[in-house]
A and B are shown apart, each in its own frame.
Chain A
Amino acid sequence: MLGLNSRDFKLLMIVIFMTLAAPILLNPFPVDSALGESFNAGYPALMQRFVIFGLLAVGFNILFGLTGYLSFGHAAFLGVGSYAAVWMFKLLSYNIVPAMLASVIVAALFAVVIGYVCLRRSGIYFSILTLAFAQMSYALAYSVLSPITNGETGLQVYSDDPQVLMRAGDPIVPHLFGLEMNSSVTWNVGGWQFVFQNGYYLSAICMIIGFYISIRIFRSPFGLMLRAIKSNQTRMSYTGMNTKPYMLAAFVISGMYAGVAGGLMSAMDPLTGAERMFWTASGEIVVMAILGGVGTLIGPVLGAGIIKYLENIISKINSDILHNWFAFMPDWMDNLLVNILYPFVGKGWHLTLGVLFMVVVIFLPGGLVQGGQKLGALFSRKSKSSNSDATTAGTANTNTPAE
């Protein structure tokens, strides 16, 4: 269906279900319970980040996963996309359609220029070049181009901006033809509370579309060509292929994904700052892809989700909350447990991420997706012998774990 084989279709359906039901799935605990206060992640701002960074990682994966070219400056596209969108809000109106179009176009142009230069080299030199471009963009946005980017303070919409397409009565928040992005419906069931927000669903739909396109690219002759470049670019050249256009196309597509993600970020929250382009932001995208599983379809989305969850949920657990959890224990045990756990939560969430990353890289080179496959294999050992050939072929086809 939709031009997908049944396996991919199932995966797409799972992604659609997970994203659409996220407001419920991510709020498994009652609001007022201790677990709910600490671990519920189903609030709009975070769910938006899950899908937006998911989309970003999916796009990154088209470049890194398929061609093996590690771009260390992907955040630059995210940043220019965001700036383009906010400028559209400032100049035209709060309607997100021109904003999103502008962010994709600007990011694509940016990607063409940077890609053209950087793709003259491969391997580590390519990575360093992209990193250099991203850091240049960051430095420009942070201070030199302050009239355009508003520097460190960040670009935002002021009430005296032109907004030429704005009519009286239009919402003064980003909207899709009047549908306000920050409007939501809250649903209370017993102690549970679920929030369904327009902005989240718009981002989710973009992510699903992006994911679908990514599957199609993975399965297309174009995707095959990119994989061929990854396995042996020299041989491709010797056979008379000019690989450069393919590389550039992959780079630009990937940059456009980042542009959409940047535009969405601005549409959800119309302020953007230069640090969105900082090299740590680019690094984060790489970590997302590797954590989830480079070259797999769903992996980068998983990685993005985990990092954003750690950053927003685990980082807010402070020592008071820990003491509350263990309050029922004797004092010495309480203190001992808090002392053991404390370095890993709150501001120590980076440590948790680091440990997780190390574990994944050492034991699961294919990322969390490989972990899932191993688990799956464990439970379906019986049926495996009968149709092992088919499964292996299928697995290789769908996921092509790290090669």
Chain B
Amino acid sequence: MTKTTYSRRRVLKTGAVAGTAGLMMPTYLRAAAHEGFTNAPTGDTVTLGFNVPQTGPYAEEGLDELRAQELAVEHLNGMGDGGMMNTFSSKVLDGTGIMGKKVEFVTGDTQTKSDVARASAQSMIQKDGCIMITGGSSSGVAVAVQGLCQEAGVIFMAGLTHSNDTTGKDRKANGFRHFFNGYMSGAALAPVLVNAYGADRRAYHLTADYNWGWTQQESMAASTGALGWETVENVLTPVGAGDFSSYIAPILNSGADTLVLNHYGGDMVNSLTQAVQFGLKDRQVNGKDFKIIVPLYSELMAKGAGSNIEGVFGSMNWNWQLEDEGTKAFVRSFGEKYGFPPSNAAHTCYTQIMLYADAVTRAGSFNPCAVVEALEDYEFDGMGNGPVLYRGADHQCFKDVLVMEGVASPSGNANMVGYDTLRIVEQTPRAQVEYAPDHPMFAGGALGECNPGA
């Protein structure tokens, strides 16, 4: 990290003072250069940094991520029932931490602000000696922290981030994304929508006015357009608008028969609720029933929107209702510890930690470059999504995508709203959502070289 002399002179001076004061003589090192990479774990523990929003609009998601992350650490350290470690196709993890080092963690609050997230990640790297940072619930933050980790020379395992840019134009060699993206949502949803609603629909888009919203809208318009749908209009709405009625009223006269809400979190809850209040769901346009689509679903949004999501299609990365062994094992151990099912944000964070631990063990080193090599083009199974590929060209995971539909709660349990009010309509196979690394929606980025720091 260092090759300067001016501050060393100061250090020497201060050192001389300290020495005469009877302290032990200083040994100054070149910032851990002797290990060859940033924050090489030297003792019998290794520290991971969980950087999630604990306050702000995505706080609930962040806290759910934190739960899953704590659970993953327990499993890695051999406590609890082992969760998805037992179903994971790779068997190198044995419950003794990572390479025999006990896993410890520090937490930080991103507040869903890039600056704060970076400050928090910096303190994890510089103060707490973290070797890997994970978590987050927004693409802007993910891109910001990913860039920081690239510069500092640690691994970033992205949490919930759905924008194409994270592994598109902002992709970085030290960053990895397990979560799916806007393009995949569009590719998975479009055929289902055409099947259900016909190929001659006229869609009206309301789009959150920032990067994620744009990439989501672009992906939806492209994939539905390819199957015959027409995009009547795309209206950008400010983030956190609260009141969407002025955006919804014009839809009534637009001649559109479908509304696509490219919103997330509280915005989606508000816009969907107001669309329903405007009676859009009961309308008939062009002789067809008016339909609403929410491309990206989450349990917490579904919870917030309550019964308004009935009959609304959307997509998810993973859902606790899947029937495979990995999902069952994860839902069981999460449910036993916390008393409710995990969200898909929780699942992706848990999986990312397991994948990181596994990659380190297979590589036999915590060196970020060794980890990158171990993760690139890595095929695995048993983590709840079926067979998955971590593509080396852009560090994006490729796996089946779930198309979901909102339904009335079958259990009638108020605590389960959001969890059982989403039904899996289809598990879109991985081949259908794959794309080339230099696809126009993802072009313009370069991974660069992996950076071990120090």
Q: Which of B30, B107, B147 contacts A316 (CB 8 A)?
A: B107
Asked whether, in the complex, the Cβ of A196 is within 8 Å of the Cβ of B127, the reply is: no
Q: Does A156 contact B (CB under 8 A)?
A: yes
Chain B residue nearest to A150 in the complex (CB): B211
Q: Does A190 contact B (CB under 8 A)?
A: yes
Count of residues in B whose CB is under 8 Å from the partner chain: 60
Known: A183-B2, A188-B28, A196-B11. A152 touches B55 (CB 8 A): no
Q: Does B7 contact A (CB under 8 A)?
A: yes
Asked whether, in the complex, the Cβ of A152 is within 8 Å of the Cβ of B210, the reply is: yes
Interface residue ranges of B106-151 to A (CB < 8 Å): 106-109, 113-116, 118-120, 122-123, 126-128, 139-140, 143-144, 147-148, 151
CB neighbours of B257 from chain A (8 A):
none
Known: A146-B211, A154-B144, A271-B148. A347 touches B109 (CB 8 A): yes
Asked whether, in the complex, the Cβ of A182 is within 8 Å of the Cβ of B1, the reply is: yes
Asked whether, in the complex, the Cβ of B14 is within 8 Å of the Cβ of A24, the reply is: yes
Q: Does A318 contact B (CB under 8 A)?
A: yes
Q: Does A45 contact B (CB under 8 A)?
A: yes
Asked whether, in the complex, the Cβ of A275 is within 8 Å of the Cβ of B4, the reply is: no
| Chain B: minimal CB distance from A392 (Å) | 38
Known: A159-B448, A184-B31, A312-B119. A153 touches B8 (CB 8 A): no
Q: Does B54 contact A (CB under 8 A)?
A: yes
| Chain B: minimal CB distance from A36 (Å) | 9
Docked complex Cα distance between A5 and B328 (Å): 74
Asked whether, in the complex, the Cβ of B31 is within 8 Å of the Cβ of A159, the reply is: no
Docked complex Cα distance between A403 and B236 (Å): 47
Docked complex Cα distance between A273 and B114 (Å): 7
Docked complex Cα distance between A299 and B235 (Å): 47
CB neighbours of B115 from chain A (8 A):
273, 275-276
Asked whether, in the complex, the Cβ of B113 is within 8 Å of the Cβ of A312, the reply is: no
Known: A46-B123, A156-B147, A271-B114. A187 touches B11 (CB 8 A): yes
Known: A153-B140, A189-B23. A312 touches B120 (CB 8 A): yes
Count of residues in A whose CB is under 8 Å from the partner chain: 52
Docked complex Cα distance between A311 and B117 (Å): 11
CB < 8 Å A-B pair total:
150
Docked complex Cα distance between A315 and B10 (Å): 32
Q: Does B238 contact A (CB under 8 A)?
A: yes
Asked whether, in the complex, the Cβ of B139 is within 8 Å of the Cβ of A153, the reply is: yes
Docked complex Cα distance between A299 and B23 (Å): 35
Docked complex Cα distance between A180 and B170 (Å): 24
Q: Does B27 contact A (CB under 8 A)?
A: yes
Known: A43-B127, A153-B144. A185 touches B109 (CB 8 A): no
CB neighbours of A43 from chain B (8 A):
122-123, 126-127
Q: Does B239 contact A (CB under 8 A)?
A: yes
CB neighbours of B3 from chain A (8 A):
180, 183
Q: Which of A40, A45, A153, A347 contacts B122 (CB 8 A)?
A: A45
Q: Does B266 contact A (CB under 8 A)?
A: no
CB neighbours of B431 from chain A (8 A):
none
Asked whether, in the complex, the Cβ of B28 is within 8 Å of the Cβ of A187, the reply is: yes
Asked whether, in the complex, the Cβ of A269 is within 8 Å of the Cβ of B448, the reply is: no
Q: Does B24 contact A (CB under 8 A)?
A: yes
Chain A residue nearest to B236 in the complex (CB): A143
Interface residue ranges of B274-333 to A (CB < 8 Å): none
Asked whether, in the complex, the Cβ of A173 is within 8 Å of the Cβ of B151, the reply is: yes
Chain A residue nearest to B169 in the complex (CB): A158
Q: Does A130 contact B (CB under 8 A)?
A: no
Asked whether, in the complex, the Cβ of B7 is within 8 Å of the Cβ of A269, the reply is: no
CB neighbours of A146 from chain B (8 A):
211
Asked whether, in the complex, the Cβ of B109 is within 8 Å of the Cβ of A143, the reply is: no
Docked complex Cα distance between A156 and B151 (Å): 12
CB neighbours of B122 from chain A (8 A):
43, 45-46, 269
Residue-wise, chain A 336-349 has the 8 Å CB interface mask toward B (1 for contact) of 00000000001100
Residue-wise, chain A 255-277 has the 8 Å CB interface mask toward B (1 for contact) of 00000000000000101010110
Known: A24-B14, A151-B211, A196-B11. A189 touches B140 (CB 8 A): no
Q: Does A389 contact B (CB under 8 A)?
A: no
Docked complex Cα distance between A269 and B54 (Å): 23
Asked whether, in the complex, the Cβ of A185 is within 8 Å of the Cβ of B126, the reply is: no
CB neighbours of B11 from chain A (8 A):
185, 187, 196
The 6 A-B pairs with the shortest beta carbon distances in the complex, nearest first, are A45-B122, A152-B210, A273-B114, A43-B126, A347-B54, A152-B140
User: Please, could you name 19 A-B residue pairs with CB atoms under 8 Å apart, sorted by A?
Assistant: A24-B14, A46-B127, A143-B238, A150-B211, A152-B139, A153-B114, A153-B143, A153-B211, A154-B143, A158-B445, A158-B446, A160-B446, A180-B4, A183-B3, A185-B7, A185-B30, A186-B30, A275-B114, A316-B108
A151-B210, A159-B448 known; 9 new pairs, CB 8 Å cut-off, are A139-B238, A153-B114, A156-B170, A185-B2, A186-B32, A188-B29, A190-B23, A346-B109, A347-B55
Binding site for A on B (CB under 8 A): 1-4, 6-8, 10-11, 14-15, 18, 23-24, 26-32, 54-55, 59, 106-109, 113-116, 118-120, 122-123, 126-128, 139-140, 143-144, 147-148, 151, 163, 165, 170, 209-212, 236, 238-239, 445-446, 448
Binding site for B on A (CB under 8 A): 24, 37, 40, 43-46, 49, 139, 142-143, 146, 150-154, 156, 158-160, 173, 179-180, 182-190, 195-198, 201, 269, 271, 273, 275-276, 278, 311-312, 315-316, 318, 346-347, 350
